[in-house]
Amino acid sequence: MPDIRVKICGLRSLDDVATVAATKAAYAGFVFFPKSPRHLTIPQARELTLAAPVGLAKVALVVDADDALLDAIVDAMPLDMLQLHGHETPERVAEIRARYGLPVMKAIGVADEGDLAALMEYSLVADQILVDAKPPKNAALPGGNGLSFDWRLVAQRRWLKPWMLAGGLTPHNVAEAIRLTNARQVDVSSGVESSHGVKDPAKIKAFVEAATQDGPPILR
């Protein structure tokens, strides 16, 4: 099986960073969105990103952030990627990518086939695409809701840029999601938590092992 790259998002403590660093995860995600239970202040995130080892890509997740917030984040800490999880237009994505010189991953919510056109549109301007479940109307959070979508919608599809599967993934279903969709990258947040915003080290380890096929099968 080709290498599967795993992103653990919503880290909030030095213990979280150490747990992720001890696995084969490729990305660590840090959330800057006050409505989220995973939100970090800039000083908090700086401490965590500085503790992350070289080789673990550090991703800042923002939601419709203005330049002032992005400037403050990028200036304060070492980052490898920006993740845009709001209603950013293709023009805004291109602007952010040019302004900061960092790779940009754009999250796209998917509920039905009509949502797939946006994946191609944003592939023209982003470096990566995060294919996530579309949040319910009036949801407080644009992601990290533990919801999945019909994986058959993206099964075996190809886009112009690398893409990452998200939405409702857990240690129990990630291997099947990879098998069905042929995703080479997966993202998880709530699926490795013991409660909202609290990461579970055992679940993180189990998720990475299941995704990378580096452990025994996980039984329901």
Q: Which residues are catalytic?
A: 9, 132
Instruction: Say how far apart CA 194 and CA 14 lie, in whole Å.
Output: 17
- Of residues 61, 125, 64, the one with CA closest to residue 90: 125
Alpha helices, H only, 52-190? 67-76, 90-100, 117-123, 174-181
User: Which strand (E) or helix (H) includes residue 51?
Assistant: helix 42-51
Residue with tokens 């549109």: 121
